[in-house]
Amino acid sequence: MALLKSHKVIYCLGNISPSLGVLSTRNSSWWGGVQMGPPDPILGVTEAFKRDTNPKKMNLGVGAYRDDHGKPFVLSCVRKAEDIITAKNMDKEYLPIGGYGEFSKSCAQLALGADSEVLKSSRNITVQTISGTGSLRIGANFLARFHGGPRDVYLPKPSWGNHTPIFRDAGMQLKAYRYYDPSTCGFDFKGALDDISKMPEQSVIMLHACAHNPTGVDPKPEQWKEISDIVKKRNLLVFFDMAYQGFASGDIDRDAWAVRYFIEQGHNILLSQSFAKNMGLYGERVGGFTVVCNDTEEAKRVESQLKILIRPIYSNPPMNGARIAATILNTPDLRSLWLEEVHFMANRIIRMREQLVAGLKKEGSSHNWQHVIDQIGMFCFTGLKPEQVERLTKEFSVYMTKDGRISMAGVTSGNVGYLAQGIHAVTK
């Protein structure tokens, strides 16, 4: 009877409580406190561009190469490498945690040079990563776990927008050093040296190896030498980001000069590489992360810890892009073709810079636009003010980020005159 009464009570409560439960469920959510995040500034530019119906519209926000017709460009060497890979009828098994060995070896050789003492003495470890972003994040996680110095990472001001969240989300502290001089649209060499000289010892300094993003402003070799000297005096840990080797000047060795010089001067650097721009492998997500160590034994220990970091994040990297890149780098005919094609891409960007300046002069602009030519790589910091950018968008349907950065890859021989006309109109 007691059990029966107890059952009746529970049953009775069961008739009342479900409505309260439904009401409670409807009025709450696991994710009710999640706020809407801010839109990505570059993706926002692209969305606005897509909505525009002006047939002359230009999208100068996206950092991806386009041919002279404004179309995506797949390198011939990539297509040939894909044919070779397909003909081999290879499997799709998992790669090792550190990635495709042939790729990692070739990746390091490309950056450091085939005759590098570091490679000959086997005192580096290079792992395949998910493009440059993944490489930077693995590096940031490695620093957060093992760097014994300050947790400060000094970025050039400005730097690639993704650098900040990558290092911040890994638990590092972000600080900045002077780099770009708005008054000259060039390198603030004096300001950079002054700030670097005051960095606490053992801090991490981020350097763009070539084609600085977003400004296109690079130090000259003599300036790199002075930067190396002062970095060594301050005992700073150098982290190079090299996303544009070959794409900047058209010469893979020239673009890697700073990286190789720093190593020759005794800096045991960290290095991130991307093959998105220089091989057009954007969607394949091909990259590498290198740590230069004191000796082989240290390199083995670092490798073991990198694998431990990678395993719970993505287990192992994707295969296809690494196979393509390795095939190109290790097949003499394809490597020669690639060097021709990357030189062609870089030269097209350089020609568009020259034609834009010529167009501005033709329009009658009295401003000095030499910085457009002097800057290098995919991006150009035009010096346009936010209100000028807004006018350019509203009146000419030319889309770019508010800081005046334009992707020169979006400029073609067919639209460079229109762009010059628009820039002159908002700056005269």
Which residues are designated catalytic?
160, 241, 277
Q: Are strands 186-187 and 204-208 parallel, antiparallel or unpaired?
A: unpaired
Q: Are strands 180-181 and 186-187 parallel, antiparallel or unpaired?
A: antiparallel
Structure tokens at 116: 């590098």
Neighbours of 308 (CB within 10 A): 11
For residue 150, the Cα-to-chain-centroid distance in whole angstroms is 24
For residue 390, the Cα-to-chain-centroid distance in whole angstroms is 26
Q: Are strands 58-59 and 270-274 parallel, antiparallel or unpaired?
A: unpaired
Alpha-carbon span 119 to 262, nearest angstrom: 15
Q: Is 112 helix (H, G, I), strand (E, B) or coil?
A: helix
Element holding 63 (H helix, E strand): none
Rounded alpha-carbon distances, angstroms, from residue 70 to 179, 199, 253, 255, 416:
31, 44, 28, 25, 12
Structure tokens at 341: 């094609």
Rounded alpha-carbon distances, angstroms, from residue 150 to 40, 205, 227:
30, 11, 20
Q: Which residues pair with 72 in a beta bridge?
A: 66
Alpha-carbon span 421 to 428, nearest angstrom: 11
* Buried b / exposed e along 146-164 (16+ C-beta atoms within 10 A): ebeebebbbbbbbbbeebe
